[in-house]
Amino acid sequence: MISFLSSTPIPTTLLLFLLLLIIPTAILTYRVLFPKILKYPWPTNTPPKQDTVVIAGSFNPPHNGHVSMIQHLSKNYKQVIVVIGMNPNKVYKVSPQKRLEILEQILVEKNVKVAIVQGYIWRYAMLHNASTFIRGIRTWEKDGREERSLHILNSWGPLVFGPLKWPLKTVFMEGDTRYLHLSSTIVRNACEKKDNSSDCLRGMVPKHVEKQVFEAYR
């Protein structure tokens, strides 16, 4: 009896500890192995979900494919935070500030906010009470492989680096099929051609920012 009493606490603690380790590991591993992918046409939330979502990218520059996604999110969630990720050690040809200016001119929706974030975007998203971290991709077949390491970081980062909160879920949003031929690289290349007119950006970025994008990237 005495030995039973004295030996019980240790196995129980150990068992609890193991469970606390195994269950989150299993869930987070599942999330990485079976990512949630939103295909186009995207589902709608009626009424809009009362959640804040963060969509992150480099938006270098933003183009119509991004705009279509963000406008959809804006109609389907309470708040959308568009995050321009920034590495302070990197020199950018077009600064994140400039990209923010362009995005703010495009995204006039009241519930959309643009922010530049250095460091871990999941930490920023958690501090802003976001429920979901969204990554825009063209298709999972094209971009999924490159997204995986970021996905692992987002899934495990909070548990390793804090704040010690349950990690946000990541959702991969495939592109609007009307703009799948577009990418920021294609827009940049169009600007670098030596012709002297922003007309080369027609259909790639919203018309009212064509000139601004062209001047920034030419």
Site residues (CB under 6 A) for ligand NAG?
128-129, 196
Output the smallest distance, CB 4 to ligand NAG, in A.
44
3-state secondary structure of 102: helix
In which residue are the tokens 């590991």 written? 25
Residue 145 CB neighbours (<10 A): 9
Beta carbon nearer to ligand NAG, 78 or 128: 128
Beta carbon nearer to ligand NAG, 82 or 106: 82
Burial of 137 (0-12, 13-18, 19+ CB in 10 A): buried
Q: At residue 170, what are phi and psi to the nearest 5 degrees?
A: -100, 135
Beta carbon nearer to ligand NAG, 60 or 198: 198
Output the smallest distance, CB 126 to ligand NAG, in A.
9
Beta carbon nearer to ligand NAG, 87 or 197: 197
Q: Strand (E) positions, 119-211?
A: 132-137, 169-174
Residue 15 CB neighbours (<10 A): 10
Output the smallest distance, CB 131 to ligand NAG, in A.
11
Beta carbon nearer to ligand NAG, 55 or 137: 55
In which residue are the tokens 């963000």 written? 70
Output the smallest distance, CB 52 to ligand NAG, in A.
8
Output the smallest distance, CB 216 to ligand NAG, in A.
16
> Per the omega criterion (within 30 degrees of 0), is the bond before 35 cis?
no
